[in-house]
Amino acid sequence: MSDQENIRKRKLKLIQSLGINPYPTNSIKINNNIKNILKNKKKLINDNKNLYIYGRIFNIRNIGKASFIDIKDYSDNKIQLYYNLNNLSTKKKNKKYFIYLFKKYLDIGDIIWIKGLLFITKMSEYTILIKNIKLLSKCLYPIPIIKKTTKKIYYQFNNIDKRYRMRYLDLILNPKIKNNFKIRFLIIKYIRNFLYKFNYIEVDTPILQKIPGGAYAKPFITYHNKFKKKIYLRISNELYLKKLIVGGFKGVFEFSRNFRNESIDKLHHPEFTILEIYIINKNYLWMMNFLQKLLIYICKKIFKTTIIKINKKIINFKKKIKIKKFYSIINKYSKLNINENTSIKTLKKICKNNKIKIKNYNKDKILDNIFNFFCKKKIKYPTYIIDYPIFMSPLAKSKTNNKKLVERFEFYINSIEIANAYTELNDPIEQYKRFKSQNKDKNIIDQDFLKALKIGLPPTVGIGIGIDRLIALLTNNLNIQEVIFFPQMK
RNA sequence: GACUUGGUAGCUCAGUCGGUAGAGCAUUACACUUUUAAUGUAAGGGUCCUGGGUUCGAUCCCCAGCCAGGUCACCA
């Protein structure tokens, strides 16, 4: 334990010896917050009524027998408090009490309650003259000091490792980070509002799954003691939502925490949030329009505009979103000439020529890598990629005019895949064939899902939207860990 | 998993071409009744990530490990 921590522990005991509970339980009277006080400062000065507020101490300046204290509350605004002995009760006992409390025992990080009046200092700063003060919570861990003016930051708390491991400190010290999470909350809130308007219902499906289906990824494996069986944390909820559509809902959605046992980077996290939406009697073209409307809605609600700056690029969600065909865009950027009939041999040759690593990949992965290599970084503005080959999309319905392509789109912004949508394959026999061609092992095939398809899935469109990525983009962060409260650390 | 950069005081960092370390803020003490990066004076605070090796001597050089960042691969 550091010296500074020991000093604080000693102070805690001294505070208790004054008869003060450093962690009181009483509910406290609060009649304002700092943001509101600053907003209505002129009126409040005229009113000359007592303000009851609380806040965490960020700075203390003792000048002789006077003191200035800066506090900040949940409204994330700071206000200066002032006291000198003349303002406090005239009783000598109390004077001593306050001197000790202010000068000796209060620290940066403490949470206090105060009663006081607003006034303006000689330096024209709106300040609260303290008439009474109570300690609400003593801070025993010395928090890093941030010093800055409007122009320059002198000291800061910016070590990524420490910020993520102690996110509570990060939130206290870095208002911008806190704001990211407020926006996260708002994005999810307004997506819900938007979907509720259509009477789609929000559902919960199993996180523990016997077969981790709906995607390809390494799952987290656990064990069910009663079943005496391995059980997996879901990598996707897709198959379950379709089962619900079979069950007769018009539209369902779930903010699904998915788990994939893969590595962490700017765009990947072992547990991440995907919004999955399934709607009957619609197809992927309808969904393109729907997604755009959703984005416009949340941007208008949160930012009051559809024009957002993302990674130095101005993006207007109201503009028509570009539509590019999967093979066309590859051919455009690579100057190749490939299509859905191109053989795996040719694709492998292309990879070899361009030094694209492919190990023992299947055709779908090879093609995905070719796309990533030539195209991904070039798709900066909102774009729908369509006309994916069937072998890359085992759960999507094929196009009527070309059975080798599917009714699917992926949505990209700033080179990041934000959403993936398709008209759902609802032919159970076709679905079985596709599963079988992908998995030789029959045990991995979700027979229950196939049974549901046999009973009958109405024409349905589904979409998965990477919520963490979307939030990162809309808050202009390049790393999703900035919008996940507690990223996984080793 | 591969490559690469970093780990020094509570925080942000400097530094030692190898002789066990500094700054600012924070902390402690004193002064100061309108400061706001308050100020002035003084003081305390470090296993220089861990373990080996080379060396008379390692925080520094070499090797291994741990943790983190970046790039790539896997995955959304």
Which residue places its CA closest to the C1' of nucleotide B6?
A159
Q: Which nucleotide is closest to A147, CA to C1'?
A: B37
Looking at CATH, the fold of the domain delimited by A175-321+382-483 is given as BirA Bifunctional Protein; domain 2 (3.30.930)
Q: What percent of chain A has pLDDT over 90?
A: 71
Token couple for A174: 């870095």
- Strand B contact at CB of residue A156, distance < 7 A: yes
Token couple for A393: 């999309």
Domain ranges of chain A: 3-143, 175-321+382-483
- Strand B contact at CB of residue A216, distance < 7 A: yes
Say how far A405 CA is from B76 C1', in Å. Answer: 21
Of 2.40.110.10, 3.40.50.1100, 2.60.40.10, 2.40.50.140, the CATH number of A3-143 is 2.40.50.140
Mean pLDDT value across chain A: 91
The backbone torsions φ and ψ at residue A130, rounded to the nearest 5 degrees and listed phi first, read: -75, 130
Convert A2-19 to b/e letters by CB count within 10 Å (16 or more is b): eeeeeebeebbeebeeee
Which residue places its CA closest to the C1' of nucleotide B11?
A144
- In chain A, count H helices and then E strands: 15, 20
Q: How confident is the model at residue A431 (pLDDT cuts 50, 70, 90)?
A: very high
The backbone torsions φ and ψ at residue A271, rounded to the nearest 5 degrees and listed phi first, read: -120, 125
- Strand B contact at CB of residue A398, distance < 7 A: no
Count of CB atoms within 10 A of residue A276's CB? 23
Average pLDDT over residues A383-400: 95
Q: What is the DSSP letter of A211?
A: S
- Strand B contact at CB of residue A438, distance < 7 A: no
Say how far A6 CA is from B45 C1', in Å. Answer: 12
- Strand B contact at CB of residue A4, distance < 7 A: yes
3-state secondary structure of A278: strand
The Cα A186–Cα A272 span in angstroms is 18
Q: What is the pLDDT of residues A174-201, one digit of tens each?
A: 989 999 999 999 999 999 999 999 999 9
Mode of pairing for the β-strands spanning A66-72 and A51-63: antiparallel
Residue A388 reports pLDDT greater than 60 = yes
Q: What is the pLDDT of residues A208-263, one digit of tens each?
A: 999 998 888 889 999 999 999 999 999 999 999 999 999 999 999 999 999 999 88
Q: What is the pLDDT of residues A236-245, one digit of tens each?
A: 999 999 999 9
Size (chain A), residues = 490
Count of CB atoms within 10 A of residue A384's CB? 22
Token couple for A95: 């004077």
